[in-house]
Chain A
């Protein structure tokens, strides 16, 4: 650790001294301020700020809209751009530090751009970051989705390198990573279960969301804790100038949002809620097997911010969501996430920005069953309490430094089951798990020359397994051989990992660049699930004496090229990723309510590699993109398939997404998406046998040796945009492809002497209509 850290510091010192030497001795001044939307006062993330006179120099506003640019004395024209907004330009005389808050005006509907925004026309060429996608939530609404519920995660799934979990699944796989290897943050709080309705919808109400950024390649050092990607979702601050109400009525759910200033231009709030109402219709049914069903979800997002003074702003944001599913008094399950984030932005001076966050997040579920007087009640919960401190230092126009720390205390209640009947009550309490996750990071953005820039950094992560608790050791058969009990606050084991990250951009010419990156990521919490779809009862477990941190090393190389005055963007990225300490399950593993769940796990390695091609048309009446991924993801476990490499469940050879949006007139927009991918790797039986005491039984010869049928689907959408309202029409699965949701092998009901394979397809032609309004 110390060695690599030292090298880092040396490089940084060297780098800044080099840049200092090459600069002329003219005095330098800083221009800084915030970038905001002129209508709503929302801080704008990732707006680019450039000087017309020095085109190679530029910066972008950070997550809170703050920018800072340091240049030599002189008179410049500052230009600020953001996709979908009219560029702003103003002359500034730099003979002292200048404070300039910039307000950008949104363009009219007819000039509106596509979903994936590039901030500057050639941003994809100049930006160091590779494998990063930003989504503009305002324009997601044009993409057709299931039941008309616009959903950021469903849109993310259309990007190259991101694979959808399939019908009825908000889980996604990034560059071969499993669904639990994505860090999903809502205003910096970890969201442990991002799905409603067992995966048909995500928990993110797009009315409450401002900005979505996905990192699928090298992730910047300020992020950590998951192996394959970061989905960083930021909630709307709320309109600081006017009160507004907007909402929507859809097939499945209704939404309502209220926003407005707390004190004009000083602070604002935003509250959004939504609820499904399928259950209200079910109640009307005369059939007692239908009207006793409870089936709904709701969620609430709220955020407020206030400017305390010239240099300080505070934010408070929260999310609360709940799913309820049940049948009369017989059976019920409810689950949900709660998050809360308090943030304090502070400007030490025009170059030094700081943010301090206090973060709280929980996910819990409760299952109840009541059959003939026997009651079963099961509760499980994961809770995070954390603090995050980030500093951003805008050194000069060539150098920027970010550093900070993140500390989270995790408490996991794996399961407390209470069993009761008329005579007695008994309780089974699995050992609670406590851990403390700490990380320190530093990263340096450095522009070596007008054509070469580098971003490098390191993250030091410490994960401590804490008492109280009982820790077991197991033999190879999975039988307990020893157990040790520790008291409260005792450190059982600390895992340390050093995560270097580096990204390089080499600009070939005005229209093309080469980018390369390397990054190591680690993961200390692991999701156990024996189903290929997301279940509310899937369980997170921390590292322990048996479970080690997962580690991934990824290298990637990309070529970026723009055509026809940057109106077409093309990129080709390749990656190779090595995975260590991956988790799979023993044959017939039992992971539900099991004190010895760690004895059911296997540990192995993996590798993922692939090529991603992306062509996007950004401007004009017709815009959209085509993404294609060719990839392979393989795992290697000594105990599975004789220790040979085998395809991971999410391994898909081909994956294609086509998105087209056509702006017919001021009022009408049409859209279509088409996806195709190779079926997931699955385990099918290769034979069968009979157990007389029971039944015919499937015989398996290898794990993931078969493929589901290829998946493809066309969705169509149309939006009518009025003055204060809009209508969205969509048709999901327009040509009615019966995509296999599952394939079951069973006895033929018509001929018990035979067996058969039965395919279930979920959605065939799902039309929907949504009405949106605002006033």
Chain B
């Protein structure tokens, strides 16, 4: 409903702009400094590795967007049938696997030991769901006519499914969070239109779309994450997304199964 309110405000401004002005401006806010906090981001998929885990730290809000890596951690990836691997740090803050291969249905655990504290998270890898086909579509909101990609797939009936779409345009992963679940459409043929926030698609763009089947905790994490990215004071309880990591670490660990399709924009 945030969208709704923004639309309304926009309309009121548009309608009455001759009479009064609503204004936006950049202001200085005196924000507290915070002590650096650990951020862990890791994944395993059903596609061949290597998989990576990144460990970094928070910085104060008014500092530039450079986030110090955390080196020298002991990072272990294991599954529920006894396989386990110690990851190696290949550049500061990045830890890579070499042997592990994700298998749907297994539960994976990430363990990080850093500065004497252990952080752990588990994630169950769902079965993959295939994309039937991609279609190009256009969508207009007022004057803007933007090109979008439609994803068609069949949701498996009888189980709760959580999906994240990832759009890779000309080799670059797009920064938007598109999540759905099958709460309303269990077992249906699902059509999802991927609206990009920033860059619109142009003729000749090559676009590949990943349909990632994720577990419920990761789904909740991403949903919450997308809400706090540009948080506004009109939310009563903006908060750090509910991480599946223990001991208060920020970030997530996701085991997902993925299927991909490719389209060239006409």
A→B interface (CB under 8 Å): 197-198, 200, 278, 281-282, 287-290, 292-293, 295, 325, 327, 330, 333, 371-374, 376, 417, 419, 421, 423-424, 426, 428, 529-533, 535-537, 584-590, 592, 649, 682-701, 703, 705-706, 708, 738, 740-747, 752-767
Q: Tell me the nearest residue of chain B to A763, going by C-beta.
A: B20
Query: By the criterion CB–CB under 8 Å, are B5 and A289 in contact?
Result: no
Query: By the criterion CB–CB under 8 Å, are B143 and A287 in contact?
Result: yes
22 A–B contacts from the bound complex (CB under 8 Å): A198-B8, A289-B142, A289-B143, A295-B11, A373-B191, A530-B237, A586-B237, A587-B241, A588-B220, A588-B224, A691-B39, A694-B177, A694-B225, A695-B229, A698-B228, A699-B250, A700-B238, A705-B32, A755-B62, A757-B27, A758-B25, A760-B22
Interface size on B, residues (CB 8 A): 85
Contact of B175 among A293, A325, A592, A695 (CB under 8 A): A695
| Binding-face segment, B53-61, B107-115, B258-266 | B53-61
> Which chain B residues border A590 with CB–CB below 8 Å?
220, 223
> Which chain B residues border A705 with CB–CB below 8 Å?
32
A529 CA to B14 CA, complexed, in Å: 27
A762 CA to B141 CA, complexed, in Å: 24
Rounded to whole Å, the gap between the CB of A666 and the closest CB of chain B is: 31
Contact of B19 among A374, A758, A766 (CB under 8 A): A766
Query: By the criterion CB–CB under 8 Å, are A761 and B23 in contact?
Result: yes
* Given known A372-B193, A587-B242, contact A698–B26 (CB-CB < 8 A): no
B83 proximal to A (CB < 8 A): no
A706 CA to B238 CA, complexed, in Å: 12
Query: By the criterion CB–CB under 8 Å, are A584 and B237 in contact?
Result: yes
Query: By the criterion CB–CB under 8 Å, are B143 and A585 in contact?
Result: no
Query: By the criterion CB–CB under 8 Å, are B231 and A689 in contact?
Result: no
A289 CA to B240 CA, complexed, in Å: 36
> Which chain A residues border B222 with CB–CB below 8 Å?
694
Query: By the criterion CB–CB under 8 Å, are A371 and B19 in contact?
Result: no
A683 CA to B234 CA, complexed, in Å: 9
A767 CA to B220 CA, complexed, in Å: 46
A532 CA to B237 CA, complexed, in Å: 9
B29 proximal to A (CB < 8 A): yes
B246 proximal to A (CB < 8 A): no
B81 proximal to A (CB < 8 A): no
B→A interface (CB under 8 Å): 1-2, 4-5, 7-9, 11-12, 14-15, 19-29, 31-34, 37, 39, 41, 43, 54, 56-62, 64-67, 137, 139, 141-144, 150, 173, 175, 177, 183-186, 188-189, 191, 193, 220, 222-242, 250-252
Contact of A530 among B9, B220, B236, B242 (CB under 8 A): B236
> Which chain B residues border A747 with CB–CB below 8 Å?
65, 230
* 7 more A-B residue pairs beyond the given contacts A761-B23, A762-B9, with a C-beta to C-beta distance below 8 A: A531-B5, A532-B236, A585-B236, A683-B238, A684-B31, A764-B21, A764-B22
* Given known A703-B237, A742-B232, contact A757–B34 (CB-CB < 8 A): no
A656 CA to B259 CA, complexed, in Å: 61
> Which chain B residues border A532 with CB–CB below 8 Å?
233-236
A738 CA to B228 CA, complexed, in Å: 25
> Which one of B2, B150, B229, B233 has the greatest number of beta carbons of chain A within 10 Å?
B233
Top 8 closest pairs, chain A to chain B, by CB? A289-B142, A587-B239, A588-B224, A687-B34, A686-B34, A419-B184, A687-B58, A746-B230
A754 CA to B61 CA, complexed, in Å: 9
> Which chain B residues border A759 with CB–CB below 8 Å?
24-27
A424 CA to B41 CA, complexed, in Å: 38
Contact of A424 among B25, B188, B252 (CB under 8 A): B188
Rounded to whole Å, the gap between the CB of A753 and the closest CB of chain B is: 5
Rounded to whole Å, the gap between the CB of B109 and the closest CB of chain A is: 18
A372 CA to B4 CA, complexed, in Å: 19
> Which chain A residues border B186 with CB–CB below 8 Å?
426
Contact of B230 among A417, A700, A745, A764 (CB under 8 A): A745
Query: By the criterion CB–CB under 8 Å, are A738 and B231 in contact?
Result: no
A755 CA to B63 CA, complexed, in Å: 8
Query: By the criterion CB–CB under 8 Å, are B61 and A688 in contact?
Result: yes
Rounded to whole Å, the gap between the CB of B96 and the closest CB of chain A is: 14
Contact of B22 among A292, A743, A763 (CB under 8 A): A763
Query: By the criterion CB–CB under 8 Å, are A752 and B65 in contact?
Result: yes
Query: By the criterion CB–CB under 8 Å, are B184 and A766 in contact?
Result: no
Query: By the criterion CB–CB under 8 Å, are B7 and A290 in contact?
Result: no
* Given known A745-B61, A763-B22, contact A426–B238 (CB-CB < 8 A): no
Contact of A743 among B14, B27, B189, B251 (CB under 8 A): B27
Q: Tell me the nearest residue of chain B to A282, going by C-beta.
A: B15
Query: By the criterion CB–CB under 8 Å, are A687 and B61 in contact?
Result: yes
> Which chain A residues border B183 with CB–CB below 8 Å?
428
* Given known A585-B236, A698-B229, A701-B32, contact A537–B1 (CB-CB < 8 A): yes
* Given known A535-B1, A738-B25, A744-B231, contact A754–B64 (CB-CB < 8 A): yes
> Which chain A residues border B43 with CB–CB below 8 Å?
693
> Which chain B residues border A290 with CB–CB below 8 Å?
11, 14-15, 142
A539 CA to B239 CA, complexed, in Å: 21
A207 CA to B184 CA, complexed, in Å: 45
* Given known A198-B8, A533-B5, contact A371–B139 (CB-CB < 8 A): yes
> Which chain B residues border A738 with CB–CB below 8 Å?
23, 25
Contact of A689 among B39, B175, B238 (CB under 8 A): B39
Query: By the criterion CB–CB under 8 Å, are A428 and B27 in contact?
Result: no
